Amino acid sequence: MKIIPIRIIRVLIFLLLLASFTGAALAQTPTPDTSAITADRVNEVARGLWCPLCNGVRLDACELKACDQMKEMIAIKLAEGATDEEIKAYFLEQYGPQVFGQPPTEGFNWLAWILPVVGLIGGGLFVWLRTRRTIGREIAGAAPAQSAAPADDYSQKLEQELSRYD
């Protein structure tokens, strides 16, 4: 019986590994053809999403490279036949609720929806009550005062002089 040299065994193992990796690479699904998807269709979906990196910029208007990659992902998902809601769910899973540009209407986030309304109503009520109180004081203070007779001679003479000009 003949013994196989170690070098030949190493070469055979290397070739087997190479063949297994090549087979795995060939077994991957190719990316769908996105040439049938128009830029308008991609932007239509992107208008409903916000850039997770920029502050207050919609995805269709953002010029970052990351946003271009996100638009490419939208095109891929559309080519695969995904609906707008499925694409939005995908981005929600990847980037969180900030990708929608508004806080969700559940849990503690309700405060972001309620507090501005409560603040406006409270501020309006405060201004209205303050104005009413101020106007009430001005009306009470504007009541004609009863002219009392001056006590000294100088004041009497001044009153007589001023009454001639009335």
Domain residues of the chain, as ranges? 39-107
- Reference 45, options 73, 15, 23; nearest CA is 73
Q: What are phi and psi of 85, to 5 degrees?
A: -65, -35
Which residue would you say has higher pLDDT here, 82 or 97? 82
pLDDT of residue 3: 64
Topology of the domain covering 39-107: Helicase, Ruva Protein; domain 3 (1.10.8)
* DSSP H helices in the chain: 6-27, 39-46, 65-79, 84-95, 110-141, 153-164
- d(CA 98, CA 71) in angstroms, rounded, equals 17
Entry field: residues in the chain: 166
Q: Give the confidence band of 124 by pLDDT, cuts at 50, 70, 90.
A: very high
pLDDT surpasses 60 at 106: yes
Predicted structure pTM score: 0.47
Identity of residue 61: A
Cβ neighbours around 136 below 10 Å, total? 10
- d(CA 91, CA 113) in angstroms, rounded, equals 23
